[in-house]
Structure 1
Amino acid sequence: MNDKGQPDFSFSEQTILDEIERNLHAHGWATHVTVVRLLQGWQSLSLSLDLYTGTIDDYTNDLTGRDALAIVLAECPEPLHSKLKNLVDNFDGEFAARTQDDTECLLIRYFRIEETAGWWWKRRPAAGPLAEYLTFTGTRAEYLALRRQKIAPGSGYSKPS
């Protein structure tokens, strides 16, 4: 990634990526989906999970971006494949460091996750607002009221009987 947060691709590499993007679009991915945007989105999510203020729907949408990167990597020839894989592996490491195994299957309450889904679908944020939301045992309304009052769910609050 350059100083503007964009990957540096040669003309020939970009030509290959343009073809892969056309294939993605032909298979139903939105026309605004590009490899550069996918990389930027995965990097942004991976580096900011502990501060993530998006909804669970935003989060699952962001995870589908990682699915698209898996498709791109599968279609990408060498040496471009290795170049992209190095970037993705770095972001994957950041993502893994800020998440934990979703052993409680909290994400599946909000999104259908197949057994064959990528490893990133089996992890959830370890800290931050979305982690609090996913592990909160009260109602959504109670959670939102607590957030407005700036009371952390783990701060001794107990659900009224």
Structure 2
Amino acid sequence: MATETEVGALLHQRGWRTAFTVAEAVNTWAALVHVIERGYTDEIHEYTNDLYCRNWLHEAWLLLDEHIVQLWTQQIEALDDRYRAATVDDDGYALGQFHKLPGPDLWWWRRRPRILTGELERSLCSVQQEKRPAAGRSGP
């Protein structure tokens, strides 16, 4: 297993834009969860980009020294619980219309914010309306 510095550098080499620290990634996830709880107003592509902070934590957890994982797990699990409470499970239907969904172990991609506002609301509501059958239509 690797140190936090080694993992940050390794993930940066794998394509992450910088060598993040666990603290930076956790703080970014916490900030995103906070915004989602109050109503995310940016557009859909910004939202999907923001979700990648949780991906970074997922990838880092597979590589980090067990001691570091133990130090941060409780805080991340609490943030994950808040995210679940602030979102609705739709099996990725809404986000999948705008972004290729990663594997099922990245569960946060299969949820959408419970409170929809601004540009994100317009995008996700347009998907939900397309999913519904048109009023007054009868069978095929």
Consecutive unaligned residues of structure 1, counting only runs of 5 or more, are: 1-14, 139-161
- Whole-Å Cα distance in 1 between the matches of residues 76 and 58 of structure 2? 9
Q: Which residue of 1 aligns with 2:9?
A: 22
Alpha-carbon displacement from aligned partner over 1:106-157 (angstroms, at most 9, x marks no partner): 111110013435000100001131345411369xxxxxxxxxxxxxxxxxxx
Residue 54 (str. 1) matches residue 42 (str. 2): yes
Q: Which residue of 2 aligns with 1:90?
A: 78
Tell me the CA shift for residue 36 of structure 1.
Answer: 2.3
The alignment's TM-score, normalised by the length of structure 1, stands at 0.69
Q: Map 1:102-113 onto structure 2 (within 5 A).
A: 102-103=90-91, 105-113=93-101
The alignment's TM-score, normalised by the length of structure 2, stands at 0.78
AA at the equivalent of 1:16: T
Residue 43 (str. 1) matches residue 33 (str. 2): no
- Whole-Å Cα distance in 2 between the matches of residues 46 and 21 of structure 1? 22
- Whole-Å Cα distance in 2 between the matches of residues 137 and 21 of structure 1? 36
Larger radius of gyration: 1
- Whole-Å Cα distance in 2 between the matches of residues 70 and 30 of structure 1? 16
Relative to 1, partners in 2 of residues 1:76 and 1:123: Cα closer, same or farther, differing over 3 Å? same
AA at the equivalent of 1:100: V
AA at the equivalent of 1:33: F
Report % sequence identity: 28
Q: Which residue of 1 aligns with 2:56?
A: 68
Contact 2:7 2:60 in 1 (8 A): yes
> Aligned match of 1:123 in 108, 111, 116?
111
Contact 1:46 1:94 in 2 (8 A): yes
AA at the equivalent of 2:69: H
Q: Which has the higher contact order (CA 8 A, sep 6+)?
A: 2
- Where in structure 1 do 4 or more consecutive aligned residues deviate above 6 Å? none
Consecutive unaligned residues of structure 2, counting only runs of 5 or more, are: 129-140
Alpha-carbon displacement from aligned partner over 1:34-91 (angstroms, at most 9, x marks no partner): 3222111110111221321121111111111111100111112222211121121111
- Size of the aligned set, in residue pairs, is 124
AA at the equivalent of 2:44: I
Instruction: Give SS of 2:42's match.
Output: coil
- Whole-Å Cα distance in 2 between the matches of residues 132 and 34 of structure 1? 34
* RMSD between aligned residues: 2.2
